[in-house]
Structure 1
Amino acid sequence: MASRMDLREVFAANLRRLRNAKGVSQDELAYEANVSRSYLSQLEKGTFYASLNVVGRLSEALGVEPAELLKIPQKRMPRGH
């Protein structure tokens, strides 16, 4: 893997970004994904690892593919953008 970034940090950043993009609070997302708000907060801080089950529930609640939560950010924009 080219990046040494921790997948837990990648997941946390993507989770925060996607939740904010949808305009959803931690409480709302936690309710939709059937997890506690404190657990969701710890996931967004990168403190806890998420199980595949939780990744699936969060992605469904956010309306994205599970892979979106694990995508490593690109270093630079592709040409033409």
Structure 2
Amino acid sequence: MNLRDRVALNTQDLRRVRGLSQEELALRAGVNRGYMGKLENSKYAVSVDILEKIAKALSVDPSALVAPRN
């Protein structure tokens, strides 16, 4: 699995565990909802700055978004 797919799936899993919609996570992270959807579907690669914003919005360390999946 490539890193883009890993970030997409980890973001999606963490968002769902916290009971957030894509729209709510996008709002908290300060990004467009459409961008969040494309990120979660591996259509867009995330920048380090956006990765940090998403991690903060999910209350996790950024490394959680790039961690290998089991």
User: Aligned runs of 1:43-58 on 2, under 5 Å?
Assistant: 43-58=39-54
**For 1:37 and 1:56, how far apart are their aligned partners in 2?**
17
User: What is the total number of aligned residue pairs between the two structures?
Assistant: 70
Pair 1:41-2:25 in alignment: no
Matched position secondary structure for 1:23:
coil
Deviations 1:34-81 (A, max 9, x none): 00000000000011000000000000000000000000113xxxxxxx
Q: After the TM superposition, list the runs of 4 or more consecutive aligned residues in structure 1 that deviate by more than 3 angstroms.
A: none
Alignment match, 1:78: none
- Residue 14 of structure 2 corresponds to which residue in structure 1? 18
* Unmatched tracts of structure 2, length 5 or more: none
Partner SS, residue 35 of structure 1: coil
| TM-score, with length taken from structure 1 | 0.85
What's the Cα RMSD here?
A: 0.5
Gaps of 5+ in 1: 75-81
* Aligned sequence identity (%): 36
Instruction: Identify, as 1 or 2, the structure richer in helix.
Output: 2
State the partner residue of 2:4: 8
Q: Which amino acid aligns with 2:23?
A: D
What amino acid does structure 2 have at the position aligned with 1:66?
A: P
Question: Structure 2 length normalisation: TM-score?
Answer: 0.97
